[in-house]
Amino acid sequence: MRNIAPSILSADFGHLERDVRMVNESAAGWIHLDIMDGTFVPNISFGLPVSAAIAKVAEKPMDAHLMIVHPEKYVERFAALGVQYISVHIETCEDLSATLAQTRTAGAKAGIAINPETDAALLTPYLKQADFILVMSVHPGFSGQSFIEGSLEKVARVREMIAAAGADCFIEVDGGVGMQNIEALEAAGASVFVAGNAAFKAADPKAAIAALAGL
């Protein structure tokens, strides 16, 4: 069974508790929180107060993707909410090693997110310091984008780099994930799959999540 992480960004914010409870009852493995600051990415999504409200209802592990500048100011606060997986962008961290260590010390698993245009080779010095790598298969900041061609190859390359480094981290993929590409992404080396519109915009979201999970 695949680990599906439905992205709350695609939920109906007028019925947020309902949608989080739907994820609780579904075959999803995680709940994905897209945190955007309007600076690192063009849009603003939500922050700590909404995340805290989600945490009160969520029964699945929460996964916070911090698309923000100065993530080191916030990782401990997200971890304090009970967020178990926190990813920060290699493009925005001034001291990535320190931020990864800070995340782990706060009690969360530490991930490195990497944008489509960023060379995967930049990950090499940090692979043994991370618990997972979040490969963006769309440009961050918007939901509902199309999957970027070349993302499969990037996932496969990151998998090879992890093996070559002798690192112990897994690969999460975010952006345009659906039934049309999830098997290929899994074969390339991904083990966690963020699903936004493929989950929440489906006629039957729970059935869509089950299908993505391979049930």
Residues serving a catalytic function are 34, 174
Q: Which candidate, 2, 28, 1, places its Cα nearest to that of 11?
A: 28
Cα distances (Å, whole numbers) of residue 20 to 6, 46, 213: 9, 15, 18
Cα distances (Å, whole numbers) of residue 78 to 106, 183, 188: 9, 31, 30
Q: Which candidate, 60, 46, 57, places its Cα nearest to that of 199?
A: 60
Query: Is 33:8 a contact under the CB 8 Å cutoff?
Result: yes
